[in-house]
Chain A
């Protein structure tokens, strides 16, 4: 029991510390690496909660894919770090305001101040029944039955975003020589070779 309490405070403290380092690190690459550390510690918190499926998905999706692309982009950026730091104080009030609003909202939600009896009833209804099912199965039972349409809509939104990104960035350039593998495979010797009789001193 005491071990899991210590583990919780360790992971929570690490999450907050690395989240702070994300915004305060001088080098953007270091920021991304701290972000990855924060993701990891949040995954560990999920494991402590017994939500191992969510923990693994967090690592697979955010650390394994999203953060790789972040790192990929940030590493190739040509940034003047000194220039980047100049605006820091200038934007501090706005950033602080946003942070403050988020903090207040979190406090309101967590302290249960906004929860009406109706909301509590609905929450209790949708909570998966505690049983010997693994939490992967429990999630599946809820997502694919009660929330099937919402789940599909979420998928459609992602699809639209993906197609939008492709449409916006795709441009046809002239003069690009592409390899057509099917064409190469179907090429016959008769079409591409010709036997010529070359006279001495003439050339082809």
Chain B
């Protein structure tokens, strides 16, 4: 019995505790990301944004959550009930499980696996299922069209994301996310991070994650002017809330991946004492918040792409360019004998 406790139960409980330590702050972050988005957009459009519920509107996300929680879940008559309810759960779960491999600080990671980058890539490529299943199970025209668009869009941009990841892997020499962050450590601080030598790939990666998370200007799956609300047209109450949470958690996740790959993860921008005093997890948070700000900035600034323009950008611009850059990087590394061992 004692052995059973020591070998199985205690490690399991510790893992559950660690999972809660990641998921609970993440959900709070998702809730306040909605407020962040509304406040930043409001400032950019010379409005005040939510300012009634609580001081500076700080309780607004909780009020929104409570409102959605008390609404009725409506399942359309013609819908495939099981899949209709599974789809939002799938989206939500997928947006959470990817966090298992993100390193918040040196050693502060739930599962430090060797193929961390591939795991993230696999999970993010599964995100399309939540949407496509939702669109099909709703048995309705607008959700179905939205789902088809989204499937095509996410598959297209995944290809260039894959090539960008390959470039970073070539330079870092490892697929372990902690290893990738450590490969950006150096005396130059900020200048050692991969976004300087791989700047074009950084831009491609950022634009692709906008498309991958269905954010503006690529939010065609839910283009309200054409498709009512796209794949989530038939959803209400908590089912809708799960989609919403999943989408925002995915935004934070993608910013986190971008931080790890290009912006040096938890590393401070310079080796000065005042920066190294600040714990790594704070630096990680600051970088993620900065990228999220750009997400919102883009949303407030750019008009939505037309569908054929979206496909053109993905297949005719990003794909050839990232492919060329992979070849160039590999050639450069081989020629100057700089391949990391």
Contacts and interface: CB of A to CB of B under 8 A. Distances in A.
Given A64-B158, A136-B114, A136-B175, A72 B122 contact: no
Interface in B100-120: 113-115, 118-119
Top 4 nearest A-B pairs (CB, nearest first) are A64-B125, A56-B118, A59-B122, A134-B114
B235 interface: no
B115 A65 contact: no
A52 B114 contact: yes
Contact of B132 (A64, A72, A134, A181): A72
B54 to A, nearest CB: 41
Interface string B284-319: 000000000000000000000000110010000000
B121 interface: yes
Given A56-B119, A75-B136, A179-B308, A68 B114 contact: no
Interface of B: 8, 83, 113-115, 118-119, 121-122, 125-126, 128-129, 132-133, 136, 144, 148, 151-152, 155, 158, 175, 308-309, 312
A12 interface: no
Contact of B151 (A3, A72, A135, A136): A72
Contacts of A71: 129, 132, 151
A72 B118 contact: no
A56 B113 CA distance: 12
B339 to A, nearest CB: 12
A159 to B, nearest CB: 13
Nearest to A136: B175
B13 to A, nearest CB: 15
A53 B155 contact: no
29 contacts: A29-B136, A33-B133, A52-B113, A53-B118, A56-B119, A57-B118, A59-B122, A60-B118, A60-B122, A63-B122, A63-B125, A64-B122, A64-B125, A64-B126, A64-B128, A65-B125, A65-B155, A68-B128, A68-B132, A68-B151, A69-B155, A71-B151, A75-B144, A134-B114, A135-B114, A136-B114, A136-B175, A179-B308, A179-B312
Contacts of B312: 179, 181
Interface string A92-118: 000000000000000000000000000
A136 B119 CA distance: 13
A165 to B, nearest CB: 15
A3 B144 CA distance: 42
Contact of B115 (A29, A52, A69, A75): A52
A35 interface: no
Contacts of B132: 68, 71-72, 75
B126 A179 contact: no
Interface residues of A, number: 24
Contacts of A63: 122, 125-126
A3 B118 contact: no
B contact face: mostly helix, strand, loop, or mixed: helix
Interface in A46-98: 52-53, 56-57, 59-60, 63-65, 68-69, 71-72, 75-76
Contacts of B83: 33
Contacts of B128: 64, 68
A83 B167 CA distance: 50
A166 B136 CA distance: 28
Given A52-B115, A64-B126, 6 more contacts: A56-B119, A56-B121, A72-B148, A75-B136, A134-B115, A179-B312
Contacts of A3: 8
A87 to B, nearest CB: 25
B309 A179 contact: yes
A53 B176 CA distance: 12
A201 B52 CA distance: 58
Contacts of A57: 118
Contact of B121 (A60, A69, A135, A136): A60
A158 to B, nearest CB: 14
Nearest to A181: B312
A36 interface: yes
B308 A59 contact: no
Contacts of B158: 64-65
Contacts of B175: 134, 136
A179 B158 CA distance: 24
B151 A56 contact: no
Nearest to A134: B114
A71 B119 CA distance: 22
